[in-house]
Amino acid sequence: MPDTRSCFEILGDIERLSGVLHQGAPPPLPPDRLIGKLRATVIQLSQPKKARPVKCPANYVALWREIENSRPIELPARAIRYLSWETEIAIQPNFQSLALTPERVNARSLQGLVRSVHRRWESMANTPSVGILRTALLNYSKKNALIEKWKQNFGYVLNSDGPTRFAKDILNTGRSWDTLCDEWGVEADSEFGNQVLLQCISHAVGAMQNAQYQKATVELVLPSKHWHPSSFKQAVQQMIFASKSSLQHAEPLKNFILSDSRLLDPRLPSNTPNWLGLNESARDLVIQWLSAEDIRLFFDHVLTTRNDPHGRKPFWLKYIGRVKRSRPLLASFDESRWLANVETRDKRNFGRMDYHSDTSAFLLDFGPVVVVEFSKVGNAVYVHDRRKVAHLNDSFWSEGRFYLSTLKQKSRIEAISHLPHWERKMRTLLAQYGILPEAK
């Protein structure tokens, strides 16, 4: 809850605390909550205040269009203050020449011009306009805390290397882009800001062993709502490929993907539009991570004793790169245990067996064939031709319950019992459909 006290009330509290310190007995320490509020308020009060954009009156825009090529000098100072925040006008050299004349320039118009340049940073970063604006800031003599901060740090605000500097601050200090924008009085939603976020990804990908960089990227950079949509997908794709060989990096990235509404589980048909624009190889890699997790969770937590004497878990993990979809189907008893287990309760990718089923099942869709494993001893592993189990294929992600009769259809290709050498028989069968284990 924000502190609503005035500066004078806060200073009064500090003065009273100072008076107590001069008494003989040491005063009791104020509660941490109060100290935290005081600290936050002092930091907020110490930040340079930035001007806020306001809607420009339409008549000022019309006036500029009328006189820009003939008599721009007639534009009143009030109109300049407003038009400096109209991006498409403010980036024009002839408007800047007028707005930056010493007798017309002021702090508000300078902030509007910087904002406008940032909003079109991709086309403006290396133009003379940036140098002219930098000179105007340097020569501005009136007192303004934010302008003074910019004047002392041109390398951040008006420099082609600015996004890189901000990116390093985010990664090294663990402060978000929103936080830095508040501190520097710049707009978060801009082409400049998008470049800051992209530079964060570039540095993180180039330093995958830097745990601090990876943590900041997944917790602060990727979740940012200031991404341009295509840049966001580009950044996610880069991080997916960079995390390919490291489960340590893949795990937090996978959790982010599953929780961010711009992505979510790529296996679910309802999320297909979210993944348009990402390389199919990146999508397949995420599916591999998710399928590997499904296999481990099923054999580790659905089998009541975690006993896998037939080696089914390591066998199927060798085929992770070939899996298109996977899903556990839980019997009622196993579902209760699943939801009570700390390691599995948040994993809601499972379907449900019918109420009378005493075994859970696990679906593995390899494209040409669909494989069904069961948790209870005595059940063979069923291999179905995808074309002959249309109902199972169509209901793969169904919220309805699955019946054993659907999973054990007589039209199966084969039902392989888990007898000695079952792996060899299964490998041979899958190979006939072009499904081979991943090379070590």
Task: Please report, for the chain, the start and end positions of each structural domain, with discontinuous segments joined by +.
Answer: 7-46, 58-157, 162-263, 299-431
What's the pLDDT score for residue 400?
Answer: 94
In the block, residue with structure tokens 């978000």? 176
- CA distance linking residue 216 with residue 252, whole number of Å: 11
Model pLDDT for residues 404-421, shown as the tens digit of each residue: 999 999 999 999 999 999
pTM of the model: 0.82
What's the pLDDT score for residue 42?
Answer: 54
What's the pLDDT score for residue 51?
Answer: 81
Q: Cβ-count burial of 16 within 10 angstroms (0-12 exposed, 13-18 middle, 19+ buried)? A: exposed
Contact assessment for residue 174 and residue 214, using Cβ atoms and an 8 Å cutoff: no
DSSP 272: G
Model pLDDT for residues 321-363, shown as the tens digit of each residue: 999 999 999 999 999 999 999 989 888 889 999 999 999 999 9
What's the pLDDT score for residue 21?
Answer: 60
422 Cβ contact partners less than 8 Å away, ≥ 6 residues apart: 310, 381, 416
Q: Detail the DSSP E strand segments found in 313-410.
A: 325-330, 351-353, 361-365, 369-374, 381-385, 401-402
- The alpha helices in 73-208, defined as continuous H runs, are 77-83, 87-90, 93-99, 107-119, 121-124, 128-139, 145-152, 154-157, 162-173, 177-184, 191-205
- CA distance linking residue 401 with residue 330, whole number of Å: 9
What's the pLDDT score for residue 57?
Answer: 94
309 Cβ contact partners less than 8 Å away, ≥ 6 residues apart: none
Contact assessment for residue 361 and residue 353, using Cβ atoms and an 8 Å cutoff: yes
Relative to beta strand 381-385, strand 401-402 is unpaired
- SS3 of the chain: helix, strand, coil, percent, to 5: 55, 5, 40
Neighbours of 109 (CB within 10 A): 22
With a cut of 60, say whether residue 1 has pLDDT above it. no
Contact assessment for residue 142 and residue 108, using Cβ atoms and an 8 Å cutoff: no
What's the pLDDT score for residue 15?
Answer: 72
- Apex 406 CA angle, 403 and 411, nearest 5: 160
86 Cβ contact partners less than 8 Å away, ≥ 6 residues apart: 56, 61, 116
Above pLDDT 70, what percent of the chain?
Answer: 91
| Lookup: tokens for 420 | 């000695």
Model pLDDT for residues 206-217, shown as the tens digit of each residue: 999 999 999 999
What's the pLDDT score for residue 139?
Answer: 93
- Using DSSP, state whether 288 is helix, strand or coil: helix
What's the pLDDT score for residue 49?
Answer: 75
- CA distance linking residue 21 with residue 19, whole number of Å: 5
Across the beta sheet with 351-353, the strand order is 401-402, 351-353, 325-330, 361-365, 369-374, 381-385, 414-416
Model pLDDT for residues 18-77, shown as the tens digit of each residue: 666 656 555 566 777 766 666 655 555 455 777 888 889 999 999 999 998 888 888 999
With a cut of 70, say whether residue 109 has pLDDT above it. yes
Q: How confident is the model at residue 438 (pLDDT cuts 50, 70, 90)?
A: confident
- The alpha helices in 298-409, defined as continuous H runs, are 312-317, 332-340, 390-394, 404-407
